[in-house]
Structure 1
Amino acid sequence: MKVFLQSIFAQVLLTPYIWYKGYQALPPKPKWRLPYTLLFILELALYFFGYFFRKDLPDQVMDMIQFICNTWYIASIYLFLCLFALELLRLSNKWFHWYPFFIKEHYKAIKLSLLVLIVCGVSGLMIKAYHTVINPIVKHVSITIPKDGGNRDSLTIVMISDMHIGEVIGPKMVEKYVKMSNEQNPDMVVFTGDMIDYDVRYAEKGNIDKLLQQLNAPLGVYAIYGNHEYRANRFAKDKWFAKAGLTLLKDSVVMPDSSFYLIGRDDRINKNRQPLHTLMAGIDTSRPIIILDHQPESFAEVVMNKGDLSLSGHTHNGQLWPYSEVLKFVFECSYGKYDKGNAQFYVSSGLGVAGPPYRVGTLSEMVVLHIKFK
């Protein structure tokens, strides 16, 4: 229901606006305007059909409906922004009369040409946005922790955040992620939350646990909960994590070897999660301390408790512009490397996507942390 309410804004408000502006620009003939109108009616009908019968439809049918409607949802945002910008120009001309004679003389032809140009431009943007998701990058980040690592002077960690295994991210993409990780020869792999998008059945049907078992990491593969793990049946997810060969850290502290501590925090959606000072009671703070915390909202707590490096995801860096700009005002750090006090932080934009398989102005990334101890 929540997802429906979020996307209904575009379907009920943006779609009629886009239809109306396009209808005005098209030649006033039924052979143009009738098929154009039918396309919008069909999209709306498909959307509401998918919503009201979502519990009865097979996964394959529902996945197709979601892909079509989510694609339109993203496209409608950018179509609206372009059309609204043109509307502002039109209104400014109404007030200041700045249009040159050429535009006034050929106004209808120019309106149609601009409509075609906008549709082609947004189509190209969507293709690039999809390409960004299915071709993630490997981002290398250098970190120096000024603490004694015992018999270890360096550590390589592959950080994977926000995979969102489900309708969009399936076995083919996970197989690619596993290969990418193994190519980095990491000492350790960490999943910083939102591994499962909603229900675990897509991961089970795709035998994704067997793919994750192929991850190579001498110090182990660790995972924490994100907010999405609390959706649907989280107990089934716990079993699946174990089957996939992942060590789930839920308010847990481990030492993968004798060199450093790894603390995995429960997601902050759990109001009863342990405070960091409780988790760190009794540990040797002269050793390097690495913290996994899905949501990047506990920076001061990390600094106060002498944590050295905290790894988070959750934000997707907005996933779609201009949301990435908005998040800069929501989070202390919504993406990238950040220093506060004596602690260092990295917030990943994630590998997968929340909802439609598109990224505009952001990257799908696997982060490789090259850590040096002093």
Structure 2
Amino acid sequence: MFLVVAAAVIVLLHLYLWKRVVKDTTRTARWRRVGTVALAALAVLVLATLALPRRVGVDVARWFAWPGYLWFGLMFYLVVVLAVLELPRFAVRRTVATDESRRLFLARSAAVVAGVAASGITATGVVSALSAPEVRRLTVPIRRLDPAFSGFRIAVVSDIHLGPLLGRGHTERLVRMINEADADLVAMVGDLADGTVAELGHAAEPLRDLVSREGTFFVTGNHEYYSGHQQWVTELERLGLHYLHNTRTTLTRGGGRLDLAGIPDVTGQAFDDDPDLPAALAGRDGAAPVVLMAHQPVQVASAAEAGVDLQLSGHTHGGQLYPFHHIVALAQPAVSGLSKVDDTWLYVTNGAGFWGPPVRVGAPPDISILELVRR
């Protein structure tokens, strides 16, 4: 169903581009045919990039994923800029008498402006997406936090998205940056890979080198289920990471306690792997604070009802492509950063990778270091 809807949207967007960039800007049938064929080929390339990687495998997909996703990002901003230009175009045509030559001039001018602007935005976004993630440091005041845990640092990383565009080098850089942060605990909150262990296990291997005082814990994101979540759980446990599946672990320090709990992503419901927060919190001592790892921010509603002190999430990519942030905000209670739902803190990382176009605009990748302090 997702592919059907995505295909329909891609076709409609290319039809809009054809109208504004090909039909409105050409006079001769020959150039119109050239533009039509080129745009149709690009539409097929995007559709193949979205539909084929799981059928042909990651190694083969690399050959068309790079040009396909780069065009996807450029196409998105061409559409955005052209849509913004519709209003001045309409105003000019309503207030100034326009003959065929003037209409052609307006159409070509809009196409040139859109092309230059979209190319600049996309290029800047590519640099942001492929650069080293920012290290964001925040302090989170936690009620009931024992003084022994004051200053406890959690490195939060999510949405690494190993796949056709990101490989072992991406993982090695993340591991190096996290280790340099000298965290007490590493929390991986989902969406590690877009492919099978057979295809991407080599790229994930550097995760075995993560170092922290309490270890590395992980939960599943929605993309784990698309890639075969159980095989990834087995592989990550083999690499020395700890899986929190509707369960929790109690950390102790100087007589103080801190609970760390984890639940599967809501997508697991379609794979007989439901998130069960009551099970994760069952039997815990309510005097100790609890930190919950849950991939999607929307899961904070249940966390707030259960009295969770802090939820760590990803999934949104911070919106990844502005102004897509506003659409993400319709489905999630927060898109990026630290916020609060009732008495529960919610932290949403932008993620360390990207999905789809290797482009980030207004949402740079990050690794977050959260320092817990006593409120």
TM interval, shorter chain, is 0.7 to 0.9
The structure carrying a bigger helix percent of its residues is 2
Instruction: From 196, 214, 236, give the equivalent of 1:241.
Output: 236
Q: 1:47 to 1:227 in 2, by over 3 A?
A: closer
Higher mean Cα deviation, 215-224 or 37-46?
A: 37-46
CA contact (8 A) 1:166 1:199 kept: no
The 1:282–1:46 alpha-carbon spacing in structure 2 relative to 1, beyond 3 Å, is closer
Q: In structure 2, the residue corresponding to 1:231 is in which secondary structure?
A: helix
Matched residue of 2:172: which SS? Answer: helix
Letter of the structure 1 residue corresponding to residue 61 of structure 2: M
State the match for 2:6 in structure 1.
7
Code of the aligned partner of 2:22: Y
Distance across 1 between alignment mates of 2:242 and 2:226: 20
Alpha-carbon distance in 2 for matches of 1:48, 1:329: 26
Q: Could you tell me which of 179, 184, 191 is aligned with 1:182?
A: 179
Give the aligned partner of residue 265 of structure 2.
Answer: 267
Distance in 1 separating the partners of 2:4 and 2:151: 48
Answering whether residue 34 of structure 2 is matched by residue 39 of structure 1, we say no
Q: Distance in 2 between matches of 1:275 and 1:42?
A: 46
Contact 2:265 2:296 in 1 (8 A): yes
Structure 1 residues 215 and 5, CA gap change in structure 2 (3 angstroms): same
Structure 2 residue identity aligned to 1:270: G
Q: Note if contact 1:7-1:73 (Cα within 8 Å) is conserved in structure 2.
A: no
Match of 2:217 in 1: 222
Residue 165 of structure 1 aligns to a residue whose secondary structure is coil
Instruction: Give the counterpart letter for 2:95 in structure 1.
Output: W
Cα 1:50–1:215, aligned 2, differ >3 Å: closer, same or farther?
Answer: closer
Displacement, 1:277? 3.1
The reply on whether 1:372 has 2:373 as its aligned counterpart is yes
Shift of 1:60: 3.7
Q: Shift of the alpha carbon at 1:262?
A: 0.6
Q: 1:346 maps to which residue?
A: 347
Letter in 1 for 2:297: P
Residue 159 (structure 2) pairs with residue 158 (structure 1): no
Deviation of 1:274 (Å) = 5.5
Residue of structure 1 in register with 2:364 after alignment: 363
Give, in angstroms, the shift of residue 29 of structure 1.
4.8
**Displacement of 1:149 after TM fit?**
2.3
Moved more, 45-54 or 321-330: 45-54
Q: CA deviation at 1:138?
A: 1.3
The correspondence for 1:120, drawn from 109, 116, 128, is 116
* CA positional deviation for 1:224: 0.6
8 Å Cα contact 1:70/1:355 also seen in 2? yes
Does the 8 Å CA contact 1:199/1:231 hold for their aligned counterparts? no
Deviation string, structure 1 residues 68-125 (Cα, Å, up to 9, x no partner): 222222322221233234344343444xx32389x99855344323322211211111
SS of structure 1 residue aligned to 2:297: coil
Alignment pair present for 1:66 and 2:65: yes
Conserved? CA contact 2:292–2:312, under 8 Å: yes
RMSD of aligned Cα (Å): 2.8
The verdict on how the C-alpha distance between 1:13 and 1:303 changes in structure 2, with shifts beyond 3 A counting, is closer
In structure 2, C-alpha distance between the alignment counterparts of 1:359 and 1:311, rounded to whole Å: 21
TM-score, normalising length: structure 1: 0.87
Contact 2:144/2:288, CA 8 A, preserved across alignment = yes
Contact 1:46 / 1:65 at 8 angstroms: preserved in 2? yes
- Sort the Cα spacing of 1:328 and 1:100 in 2 relative to 1 into closer, same or farther, 3 A: same
What amino acid is the match of 1:152? F
User: Unmatched 5+ residue regions in structure 2?
Assistant: none
Number of matched pairs: 368
Q: Structure 2: how far apart are the matches of 1:114 and 1:336? A: 36
Question: For 1:125, what is the secondary structure of its paired residue?
Answer: helix
The percent of aligned pairs where both chains have the same amino acid is: 24
> Which aligned pairs between 1:199-348 and structure 2 lie closer than 5 A?
199-206=196-203, 208-209=204-205, 211-258=206-253, 259-271=257-269, 273=274, 275-348=276-349
Amino acid at match of 1:364: P
The 3 A distance-change label for structure 1 pair 6 and 254 is: same
Report the counterpart of residue 143 of structure 2 in structure 1.
146
* Conserved? CA contact 2:296–2:313, under 8 Å: yes
3-state DSSP class of the match of 1:118? helix
Cα shift readout 1:190-235 (whole Å, capped 9, x = no counterpart): 10111122433332243x21x1122121110110111211223222
Instruction: Work out the CA distance in 2 between the residues paired with 1:188 and 1:316.
Output: 22
1:18 alignment counterpart: 17
The answer on whether the counterparts of 2:247 and 2:281 sit within 8 Å (CA) in structure 1 is: no
Q: Is the Cα–Cα contact under 8 Å of residues 247 and 279 in structure 2 kept in the other structure?
A: no
